[in-house]
Structures are given as C-alpha cells and as structure tokens.
Amino acid sequence: MKSSVFAKMGERFRRAVVLLLALGALGGLYAAFSPTSTAKDGVNTAADEATYVREGQKLYSEGCISCHGRNAEGVTDRGPSLIGVGAAAVEFQVSTGRMPMARQEAQAQRKPPVYDSDETTQLAMYIQSLGGGPEIPNGDLREGDMSAGGVLFRTNCAACHAFSSNGGALSSGKFAPTLKETTDRQLYAAMLTGPQNMPVFGDNQLTPQEKKDIIAYVQSMKESKDPGGLGIGRTGPVPEGLVAFLVGIVACMFAALWIAGKS
C-alpha cells in the first residue's frame, strides 16, 4: 500500500522534473532569440533605409507637422525647427513620450510613448535625412567604468538631477526629472542633445567613453536602490517578465499536482 503511494509520487515527481526541464529549455531559447532593441534593427541596406525614411515622413505628416511645419522648419509659437537636431533628439523626445506634445506647456512631460520603437526609428531617420545632426551609436552603451562615471556624474549632472539621480526643481516651474526610468539610449541621447534647460554634452565636453561611464554609473545606482523587481542581470524587463512567468507556471503546476495528490 505504502510503496504504491510512493511509486505514484515518484512517477508524478519524475513528470514534474521533466516538465521543469522542458520549461527551462524553452526559457533559455526564448532569452537567446528574443530581439534586443537596437535603434536600427531591420535597417540593413540602403533600400531599407529609404523605406524607413519614407515611412517616417508619413508618420511625421500625421503627428508632427502641425507644430513643426511642412519641412520641419518650425512653426511660430507652436514648435521649433527640427533641421539639424538629429536622430538622437527625435529618439529621445519620442521614446520618452514627450513628443508628440499634447498641448503647449512649460516643459514637455515624460509619458508613455505613442510610437513603438520601429516607428520611432522611422521618425528619427526622416529627421536625420533632412538636416543631419547627432546620432546615438549602436552597441552596448553601458560598457564603462562605474567609478569614473560616478565622479563625472557628480561634477556634471548632480547639480540638477541630485546625487541620488532622483531629480529636482529648477527655476521658473521647470524641473530636472528623475533618471530612474531612463534607458541607456535615452541617457546617451539626453547628453548628446541637451533637452530644454539641460546643457548639451557634446563629444568635446564628454567623450563617448565618458558618456558610457556615466550610463554605467546611473544604471547601477538604479539597480542597487530599486526596491521592487528582481536583480536578474542587467538585461531589462524581458528576462524579468520571463522569470515571473516561469515561476508562475511552476507554482500552478505544483498546485495542480498537489490537488491531484489530495483527491
């Protein structure tokens, strides 16, 4: 009697282990093949580029033209010229949801983005095609020296964004926002383009390597002080969601096995 119960338990247990291994393998595969979002995913040839620029122009005519003008030359009292602001400025403004601006306000607010990353790239490439300007480099933007980044952050950024990078008020109702929600590319773009009251940190002020040092520092600070979420590598929300998903599935599985075992 007893031994048959154990045999059953053993069988159930073996199945659970097999299932777990299969799920683990699936997770690994997913992580290995899930797309990493570089700005120029899918833009490999000149033809791709032409398509992106064309699509970008369409999006621009629908969402931006009323404030920035037919040829991005700007509209008095509505929006500035975008000639020469570069792909970096567009990516910054659009990916942080600041643009399209909903209404005239002292300072465009960060909000959930209206365009997905592909559309953002298209808009960025269209504006880039009009007047050139700064672009965000591809590749790992955090490959830097964290402690050097800390020193650079305290001298160049902390005055406005606070030592903790939590942000702070500036004069006349403006403010430097928290850096806790920023991505690597947004950090790079902010330095390169200097939105609103933020100074531009061109490559003469901060070399590309120094920018990466700062990004490494800011992002590490975010991770070490982040009260929520799990510190699963530095790979962002996809693996974290995946782990939550797997843990959930495994929990359900054990609950099911437990209920089956009871009956």
Q: In this complex, which beta carbon is closest to ligand HEC, that of residue 23 or of residue 160?
A: 160
**Contact residue for ligand HEC among 27, 74, 137, 195 (CB under 6 A):** 195
Gap between the Cα atoms of 40 and 62, Å rounded: 22
Do residues 192 and 202 lie in contact, with contact meaning Cβ atoms separated by under 8 Å? Answer: yes
**Contact residue for ligand HEC among 39, 190, 192, 216 (CB under 6 A):** 190
Residues in Cβ contact with 136 at an 8 Å cutoff, skipping those fewer than 6 apart: 39, 87, 88, 91, 185, 188, 189, 192
Residues of span 213-232 touching ligand HEC by CB under 6 A: 214
The span from the first CA to the last CA of the chain, in angstroms, equals 16
Residue 235 within binding range of ligand HEC, rule CB under 6 A: no
Residue 107 within binding range of ligand HEC, rule CB under 6 A: yes
Q: In this complex, which beta carbon is closest to ligand HEC, that of residue 166 or of residue 253?
A: 166
Do residues 190 and 177 lie in contact, with contact meaning Cβ atoms separated by under 8 Å? Answer: no
Q: How many residues form the binding site for ligand HEC (CB under 6 A)?
A: 47
The number of CA neighbours under 13 Å toward the Cβ of 144 is 28
Residues that bind ligand HEC (CB under 6 A): 63-64, 66-68, 78-80, 82, 85, 89-90, 93-94, 96, 98-101, 107-108, 110, 123, 156-157, 159-161, 170, 174, 176-177, 179, 181-182, 186-187, 190-191, 193, 195-199, 201, 214
